[in-house]
Amino acid sequence: MSEPTSRPDPAYDADGGGRTVIVLAAGLGTRMKSAKPKVLHTLLGRSLLGHVLAAAEPLAAQRTLVVVGAGADQVSAHLAEIAPGAEPVRQAEQRGTGHATRVAIEQAPAAAGTVVVLTGDVPLLRAETLAELVAAHERAGAAATVLTAAPPDVTGLGRIVRDEHGAVVGIVEERDATPEQRRIREINSGIIAFRADALRATLAELRSDNDQGEEYLTDTVGLLVKAGEPVGAYVAADATETMGVNDRAQLAALGALLRDRINAAWMRAGVTMVDPASVWLDVTVTLAPDVLLEPQVQLRGATSVGAGATVGPDTTLVDTEVGAGASVVRAQASGAVVGPDCSVGPFAYLRPGSRLHAGAKVGTYVETKNAEIGAGSKVPHLSYVGDATIGEQTNIGAATVFVNYDGVHKHRSRIGSFARTGADNMFVAPVEVGDGAYTGAGAVIRRDVPPGALSYSAAPQRVVPDWTVGHRPDTPAAAAAIKATERDAVEDAAAAAGQTSPRPGLAVPGSSESGGADSGSTGSADGAGSSGSAGEC
């Protein structure tokens, strides 16, 4: 999030040229045990290679060359997607870092300023640190400047060899180091800034007479010193920036470090995290001040959250926009827009194309897809809204399904503003319900409903007495029915004799509650009335 504290001058023109960046990304990474090239494995929203290119971007290089080898087609296609300006350079045979660098520099014969060589597997490298390395290199006019570090564990890493005056005289790989050299705590990061002419001259002198039988780029340092060229070192303030990824355990470990770094930056920018260790944010996520992130939150891709919104707990959002003051609780969303002051969840699923306007609600066990829900409208629970447009201030009853698929094509339905739909409705697309219309509970709406109309499709209710005893004898249900019937008969006789108050629903013979034209009118056989059509479900 933060800007570099020191940035080299983009107009730097040493020896008549600008800057060139070379990223070494040709290795398969056998310890990853994957068919995917190592640099394409992802960490918090970016590939390893993408993280390195992002760190190098502020250098404003004239050319960025990425050496590809194993999985070259995959890496090249990925480059075209994330960094179209970067140029893949194929290394047909992997013969070491020095050979890879020579293959790249041969593709840039006009490069004459600073050449920065990076490895493609250091995702924690900060743009600030890389900028400071290049600035120090260019101020000193050095032939080469190595980015070094002093991590707690130096096992397996190349050591920086200095003379008695502290000047860098070489880099030795651990497998080729003497016991005394292995005790050195300063290590080579694999990132070096070169003067272009010095790099070309020393690359031509590299040999492969070492334990690996490869051309080491690090050998250029010793060759430059031997030639009397000035070589410097810039020590990274945070050694974790130089850590590379060799296996999936290291990938996870660096992911946790990057998570902590990202979360700390957002908290300093005004975001509250109840449990930062359980919050995972891609580097592409944006958050406004006063956002509250509850535990177990994952925000991925181009997700953005507006000021004062609450997300979580237990929420995953991918490429989703959350407006100011909204609440998204125990929900999952992908490619959705949640407007300001909306309420989502718990246990809601917003699929791509879902759009909630200001103050809308998608409640418990609701799934939406390609749906537009108007301002102030509510889909409170147990419903599927797919390929639908709902107007403003409308209430959708519980257990509603928008039947959008005829087996071949998807169709769209429209519900107007200020409408009230009953529970357990099915809207068979394409169908339209007008503004201010009502639908009865259990309705299957197949034809358009005009504005202000009531639509229902329920058949008259039938009651078959003693069905359970007759059709399910000797079951617990039949025994319970017999017991209840006997109890009700006693209570009814007592009520008829005036000894007790009538049971709810019992019409005592001769009372004003028996018979009459208005009996049962609010729940009549027409399927309307107290169907739940007007209530908020």
What is the signed CA dihedral for 465, 470, 476, 481, rounded to 10 degrees? 20
Instruction: Give the Å distances, CA to CA, from 433 to 43, 421, 447, 504.
Output: 47, 9, 9, 37
Q: Confirm if 51 and 39 have CB atoms less than 8 A apart.
A: no
Question: Could you tell me whether strands 46-47 and 42-43 are parallel, antiparallel, or unpaired per DSSP bridges?
Answer: antiparallel
Question: Could you tell me whether strands 355-356 and 46-47 are parallel, antiparallel, or unpaired per DSSP bridges?
Answer: unpaired
**CA geometry: angle 428, 432, 435, nearest 5 deg:** 140
Amino acid at position 107, single letter: Q
DSSP string, 399-434: T-EEE-B-SS-B--EEE-TT-B--TT-EEESS-EE-
Which of 54, 43, 49 minimizes the C-alpha distance to 254?
Answer: 43
Q: Confirm if 378 and 395 have CB atoms less than 8 A apart.
A: yes
Three-state DSSP class for 289? coil
Cα separation of 31 and 45, whole Å? 22
**Distance between start and end Cα atoms, the chain:** 44
Three-state DSSP class for 30? helix
Long-range pairs for 345-354 at CB < 8 Å and ≥24 separation? 345/315, 350/320
The DSSP bridge partners found for residue 518 are none
Q: Confirm if 251 and 245 have CB atoms less than 8 A apart.
A: yes
Q: CB-hemisphere CA count at 13 Å for 217? A: 29
Look at the alpha carbons of 254, 256, 262, 267 in this order and tell me if their dihedral is positive or negative: negative
Cα separation of 189 and 194, whole Å? 14
Instruction: Give the Å distances, CA to CA, from 407 to 71, 422, 454.
Output: 40, 26, 29
Structure tokens at 236: 């990274």
Based on the residue annotation, tell me whether 99 is a catalytic residue of this protein: no
How many Cβ atoms are within 10 Å of 403's Cβ, its own excluded? 18
DSSP string, 193-248: EEEHHHHHHHHTT----STT-S--TTHHHHHHHHTT--EEEEE-SSGGGG----SH
Q: Confirm if 377 and 396 have CB atoms less than 8 A apart.
A: yes
DSSP class of residue 153 equals -
Q: Confirm if 232 and 136 have CB atoms less than 8 A apart.
A: yes
Look at the alpha carbons of 92, 93, 94, 97 in this order and tell me if their dihedral is positive or negative: negative
The DSSP bridge partners found for residue 47 are 42
SS (H, E, C) 507-518: CCCCCCCCCCCC
Active-site residue among 137, 381, 411, 471?
381
Q: List active site positions.
A: 381
